Amino acid sequence: MIYYISEGSVFMAKPMIWIIDEEWPDYEIENKELKSAFPDCEIRYSKYDYHADLEEFGRDADAILSQIYTVIGEKEMVRLNKCRVISVFGGGYDKIDVASAMKHDIKVTFVPGYCVEDVSDHAIAAIFHCNKKINLYGKAISDGLWGSPALPNPPKRLKGSNLLVIGLGRIGSATASKARALGMNVFAYDPYVDKDKMDSIGVFKTELYPGLENADFVSIHAKRTPQTEGMLGINELSRMKSSAYIINTARGQIIDEENLIKAVKEKIIAGAVLDVVYNEPPTFREEIFNTPDILVTPHISYLSVQAFEELKRRAAVNAIKVLKGEPVSDIAK
């Protein structure tokens, strides 16, 4: 093995990089960054069912670039002989056993903030969808209805309606800002953000239950943690208005999916727009895909040309920096 020395750091000249993914059509951006940093590096590829490859070659990887759906736990970590970094293609890393990685001196990196504009745009688009239902007037037209007969139950206007944001991080804050520009009243539930901070951006701090009771729309932007997993069950959903909608662009496990289906079917709430579901990738046989008044989009809220390029580039650069012994800010903890 040949090593280089750069600014006092020793790093390998010919690392083996292992990309685990089934989603990207190509790896042009990643390969360009990796080959620029390590011209002689070896790049190997696997799908999510990667365990045979782990034994054949993956255990000798110096770095792993993994899609957010890739599960890597203790039993896999212990097989990695040389790995120094697992770089996740995403703003979340809940499929990676970070504690196990730390035990094996493997850094886990992610890409926070790359899709703030895109996900917050999607959340606002979901609010418009729930409010205006622009795609649902085909039947009215086919029935020969025009004007007010086509809309017997008009919605309330968005201006002056109440939005509850759960999780006021980067994306939650951007969603709140865009909603305020529409004239909505924005409330936020986030135990880690104080009232002064919320006041400074024009958001009202609230506890969860009062926020749910007051909301016309609920938009979830919290991280998946043991504290947030299943935080919205039937007790919480039952506190919402029967006319209220819930939007989730965060993680599917934050909502109790079975109880969400029950709440929508029984008209406890009006409906939901989900860009994430409990099981991902799904089989598409799940009931959530066939529940009236629940719209599911295929986990694409983060996608734009700019976000896609930034995600792939930063994930590759994070791995490069770790291999070179350079400081990395995007470290999972």
Closest CA to 232 of 281, 167, 312, 303: 167
Return the SS3 of 275: coil
| Alpha carbon 190 to chain centroid, angstroms | 17
pLDDT category of residue 6 using cuts at 50, 70 and 90: very low
Angstrom distance (rounded) from CA 94 to CA 222: 13
Query: Which of these, 31, 30, 49, lies nearest to 315 by C-alpha position?
Result: 30
What's the pLDDT tens digit per position in 162-204? Answer: 999 999 999 999 999 999 999 999 999 999 999 999 999 999 9
* 221 part of the active site: no
Identify the pLDDT of residue 135.
87
Domain with CATH 3.40.50.720 in the chain: 3-114+306-324, 116-296
Gap between the Cα atoms of 46 and 66, Å rounded: 10
2: pLDDT strictly greater than 50:
no
Q: φ and ψ at 313, to 5 degrees?
A: -65, -50
* Tokens at 180, concatenated: 């305020």
Q: Which of 84, 122, 251, 314 is catalytic?
A: 251
Could you tell me which of 243, 260, 248 has the C-alpha nearest to residue 175?
A: 248
Catalytic residue among 213, 229, 280, 286: 280
Q: What percent of the chain has pLDDT over 90?
A: 93
Q: Is 7 a catalytic residue?
A: no
Which pLDDT does position 284 carry in this prediction? 96
Give the C-alpha separation, 53 to 49, whole Å.
Answer: 9
Q: Which of 84, 122, 299, 314 is catalytic?
A: 299
**CATH number of 116-296, picked from 3.30.230.70, 3.40.190.10, 3.40.190.290, 3.40.50.720:** 3.40.50.720
**Structure token pair of residue 225:** 């943690």
Element (H or E) spanning 54, and its range? helix 51-56
Task: Assess whether pLDDT exceeds 90 at residue 229.
Answer: yes
Kindly tell me if the per-residue pLDDT of 5 is higher than 50. Answer: no
Read off the tokens for 145.
């209805």
Check whether domain 3-114+306-324 has CATH 3.40.50.720, yes or no: yes
Run of H or E including 261: helix 257-265
- The proportion of the chain whose per-residue pLDDT surpasses 70, expressed as a percent, equals 96
User: Both tokens of residue 166?
Assistant: 């759960």
Using alpha carbons, list the distances in angstroms from residue 133 to 118, 126, 168, 273, 300. 21, 10, 27, 12, 20
Neighbouring C-alpha atoms within 13 Å toward the C-beta of 292:
4
122 catalytic residue (yes or no): no
Whether the per-residue pLDDT at 1 is higher than 70: the answer is no
Question: End-to-end distance of the chain based on CA atoms, in angstroms?
Answer: 31
Q: Which amino acid is at 201?
A: I
